[in-house]
Chains A and B, each alone.
Chain A
Amino acid sequence: MKAARAPALGAALALFGGSAAADDRREIQLGLENLYYRTAETALNRGNVLGLDPAEDLLRATGSWRERRGPLRLVARGYVEQRWGGRPRTDSAWRELFAQYDAGHLVSVRAGRQRLAWGSGFAWNPTSRAEAPKSPLNTSLDQPGADAVRLDFVPAAWGSLTLLAARADTAVGDLPFEAPARRRRTGAVRARALVRDTDVALVMAGGKGQRTLVGVDLARGLGGGAAAHLEAATYLGAEMPPARDEARFTRVAAGVLWPRGEAQTLALEYFYNGEGYAPRARDVWLTEVEGAARAAADPALPSDLRARALATYVAAATVPYAGGLGLRRHYLHASWTRAAPGAAWTASTRAVIGLEDGGLALTPGLGWSPRGNLTLQLDAILLLGPPDAEYRLAPVRTAVQLRARALF
């Protein structure tokens, strides 16, 4: 045992010779992802306007390269995708591509495509609207980043200030069809402090193509191993149609993280989407969707009118995916995870439940790591609930997602 320590000691001391924690390193990751969707014609895909094959396949080769050299950090993550099914084609995209410079501990500047990922919410982040929202179908999906310049200023250990300028297409990613993106240009400021063992963050964000929001984010440990959070934002005017410019809306995500036993974690989060449709408004929206679908398919109408009806239909039908956080007002996210560091097997189950319509997006997952640098992850997505529930209206019926990663 002591003989084995010598090289580790030397390596460790060499690392400590520079900056205390930010040692030089390189991490490379290669992967394969297969996202297999079973789709159907639903109210949100009348006449198969989305052009979906009953079995849509996204096959991806993924790559990630992270490098740190002193105060400089470079990250590139992307994929090449072959789409099989209705409209076969090849795409590629950068999920992240940024450079970061740390001027000591005081200032850090990051420029390029990047995940912003702020906010304490698990499945919903009302204060973080500069990047694409998480997929309501699977909150663990790898979302694309936003093109942004981010400056973090840390004058003291108890507090920090983040300034952000971002441009992003805020459409949910990893769907088997094109959800229309709403391009946003965002300016945001986030001040964070540790006050009496509670994380307190205040956020203000606004810009082109969006509402100006003011938000608060609180998190703290509870007795035992649990921790709780509350993230909320308020803004004038709706993001989903109709615009309702004079009305003030609030979104709130509140939840707890509760470790159980050796390696299990339970998480529960309630989400209130103030601008979500009440039952009557939801019926009006669905009537509009159906009306536009009928008009788009009506041969008696002039072609330009049909084209306009089709555009209206697509815009309305993809409201749940086009940068919104959900169609309705009350949601619950519950998850169970069993994952111990170094373990070969991990398991999880996530559920997003629409409390008003009984819709259920259930995502059981299983992970296997035959070696420390190789992982396989299998997730299924099951959309359940009454036929008119939000998740049952979606053209996706079920999905199976398989991801393999090798790390170097």
Chain B
Amino acid sequence: MRDLTPALLLALAAPAPDAAEILRRADRALLGDSAAYVLRMSVVRPGKAERVVEMKGWKKGDTLGLVRYTAPAKERGTAYLRSGESTWLFLPSAQKVVRVGARQNFGGGDFSNADIFRLSLLRDYVPTLAGQETVEGQRCHRLELLARDRSVAYHRVVWWVRADGTFYPVRGEYYTLAGKKLKWLTLSEVTRLGGRARPTRLVMENAVETGARTVLEFLAIEDDVALDDRLFTPAALERGE
């Protein structure tokens, strides 16, 4: 007992977090309640040239998200907006806001619009704690997530969250209603960004096409940014905000 540090003693004394609490803390481990970020997305397809785009994003709470392409120049201004269950696409060439579906893949990669704007897994899924496993060299909680309704992109998600108190998500697997694995996500490169450490590299691999993957890299993050709800409206997209 003498070897135990006070922090570990406190951890042992505290009640074990339940599945919902683990998922809530994992949701916030990547981005704060409101955040602004810079992201690079690379889409890799076997035998094809890699496609790279950069974007800036903003999120507020569990329902509001906005992503705007910044590079390459020909994509500049294209923006995706999410508010609740609604998703819009702004096309600068037509200066038009178009409704799109949440399950549509984002930017022709392996993330769906719902993944990019995955503002809260807890909001969309009912979590169950299914024990602990070692994944990617980390001791993790294994969470089984079942969709709260059929509007959610995936019927079932398995989510591994570090059990060392950081609650960093490490891996996710996404399944269809029929139980088929669609893709899996690996979160790595824990780096200090925006004043705190967090995973900054997300790789979504396609279970259907071998070798196909999409890499998201956070280049900058600022948490707790004051954002007006009206930034997340089609009217703001049309105005070029």
Contacts and interface: CB of A to CB of B under 8 A. Distances in A.
Q: Do A and B come from one complex?
A: yes
17 contacts: A20-B225, A21-B231, A22-B241, A73-B240, A102-B239, A105-B236, A105-B241, A154-B230, A197-B86, A225-B103, A227-B101, A257-B99, A263-B105, A341-B75, A341-B107, A372-B75, A373-B74
B79 to A, nearest CB: 10
A299 interface: no
Given A22-B241, A115-B95, A12 B38 contact: yes
Contacts of A247: none
B11 interface: no
Given A22-B241, A259-B100, A9 B108 contact: no
A221 B87 contact: yes
B7 interface: no
A369 B104 CA distance: 24
B222 A13 contact: yes
A21 B65 CA distance: 12
B101 A259 contact: yes
Interface residues of B, number: 66
A8 B105 CA distance: 26
Nearest to A198: B86
B180 to A, nearest CB: 16
Nearest to A222: B101
B120 interface: no
A242 interface: no
Contacts of A341: 51, 53, 69, 75, 78, 107-108
Given A157-B230, A229-B99, A340-B43, 18 more contacts: A11-B220, A13-B220, A20-B225, A20-B226, A21-B231, A21-B236, A110-B239, A117-B95, A117-B96, A222-B101, A225-B100, A225-B101, A263-B105, A341-B69, A372-B71, A372-B72, A372-B74, A375-B74
Contacts, number: 177
Nearest to B34: A20
A229 B71 CA distance: 30
Interface in B59-76: 66, 68-69, 71-76
Interface string A368-388: 010111110000000000000
A262 interface: yes
B232 to A, nearest CB: 6
B233 interface: yes
Interface string B217-228: 101101001111
B85 interface: yes
A225 B36 CA distance: 26
Given A5-B219, A9-B219, A227 B100 contact: yes
Which of A9, A20, A27 neighbours the largest number of chain B CB atoms within 10 Å of its CB? A20
A342 interface: yes
Interface residues of A, number: 65
A163 B184 CA distance: 48
Contact of A221 (B85, B227, B232, B240): B85
Contact of A120 (B52, B99, B229, B239): B99
Nearest to B219: A8
B108 A344 contact: no
B202 interface: no
Contacts of A229: 99
Contact of B99 (A12, A219, A371, A373): A219
